[in-house]
Amino acid sequence: MILFFRSKTLAVFLFLFIIILSSVLLSGGYQVSNQNEVIISFPRNLNLESLMRLFPLDPLMIEGEKIYFLIDQQYLSSIKEAGYTFTLENNRFDWPAKNSADRKFHLESGLNGAYHSYSELGSALKALATAYPGLSRLYILGKSLENRNIYALKISNYQAVKENKPGVALLGCHHAREWISVEVPLLIADYLLKNYNLDTHIKNIIDSAEIWIIPLVNPDGLDYSIFNYRLWRKNRRFNPDGSFGVDLNRNYSFAWGYDNEGSSPEPSSDLYRGPGPFSEPETLAIKNLFQNNHFSAAISYHSFSQSILYPWGYANLPAEKEDLFQQLASTMADLIYRVNGRRYEVGRASASLYLTNGNFTDWAYGFFQIPAFTIELPPIDLLQGGFFNSQEDIENIFKENLPAALFLAEWAISTYVKPSIPESEAKEKSDKNKQKIIKKEIYN
């Protein structure tokens, strides 16, 4: 997740980012590392909307009368020439996390602690598929740029043939630094399989649907975030200008490149959308999965901000199914609240936080007409940890999100209508739907 500042909702963005986990990062602080990025600050009362349209700034946090950003140092002279005054900050913050004594990482398994690296996730998924061969099957959807597997665990009571059941997709980690987004779908998979023979509620879901768990869309980026640069966001594509990475959640084809506010054409930007839609093997793997299966609903997990968002994200316009999206999202938020008393905000993505074009949820709805949600996991703001959830947070965040995921699966089951046309024809129809929708939304 990256937040786009908008003047009318500036107060929302007080949660922007960075709490330091001194027990993990060297010398007890956050180090920018060997990237070309530097930390700069602007006065808090600056018109951020115009500034962020001009330059690929990655917001960090608001502290006192300053707003802090990461920026590639090549843009510093251009920012000055545009008339903006900024302060070049030291590349180290030593501000302690709130309740830092309770938020330490323990180093039993390396820098990522209880969070899964790519190899650890692969082992966990293989263990589940081995332990529950009649209920699960592990697929490799494709390979990342650095030749890592993009895993999908299919959970259903019959694996031998392609089933005519509603599919529900739970995806995690489009963005590398959002480690918690790997853990939630993984733990949901574990819970479903372990409780199939113990809970008739779970048994009915697995018997009646295909639950696809894709915990790690961005394996290269995740490992880079763990072992090299904690704040890395994109994948690891080497760009022509010498920078690295494409924002995978700006690389889907629906409204790709619609404007330079919801994504960036600049390769060095953390919002870089790539040279074309589905230019990245990671997003192409998701596209192929959806085109070859019948999905009825999807959740893409991110962090942070504690919210449930639905289309559209590319423009502040209501989707044709907004009433349904609002109803489903509100029910999920209520179910989450009942677990730990934590309130997730609900709303249209473009109006609630920031503009995003070429994102997964717009694509899933725009092409396939299915309810698709972005769930931004806790915390709500930087003072509660930002991207740096403690290990102790994992279980609580999973538990509160479990009933929401189960509810969406049950909704998909209850409303499922078996396809009556061949898949090739369905694909052609979805393409026409996409063109019709985006023209209506953009030009009306």
- Secondary structure in 3-state letters for 221-258: HHHHHHHCCCCCCCCCCECCCCCECCCHHHCCCCCCCC
For the four alpha carbons of 187, 193, 199 and 202, in that order, the dihedral sign comes to positive
3-state secondary structure of 191: helix
**In the numeric block, which tokens belong to residue 165?**
């059941």
Q: How far apart are CA 320 and CA 343, in angstroms?
A: 26
Is the distance from CB of 317 to CB of 350 less than 8 angstroms?
yes
Alpha-carbon span 217 to 238, nearest angstrom? 18
Q: Are 408 and 299 in contact (CB under 8 A)?
A: yes
Q: In 3-state terms, the chain is what percent helix, strand and coil (to 5)?
A: 40, 20, 45
Beta sheet of 58-63, edge-to-edge order: 58-63, 66-72, 37-43, 87-88
Catalytic residues: 376
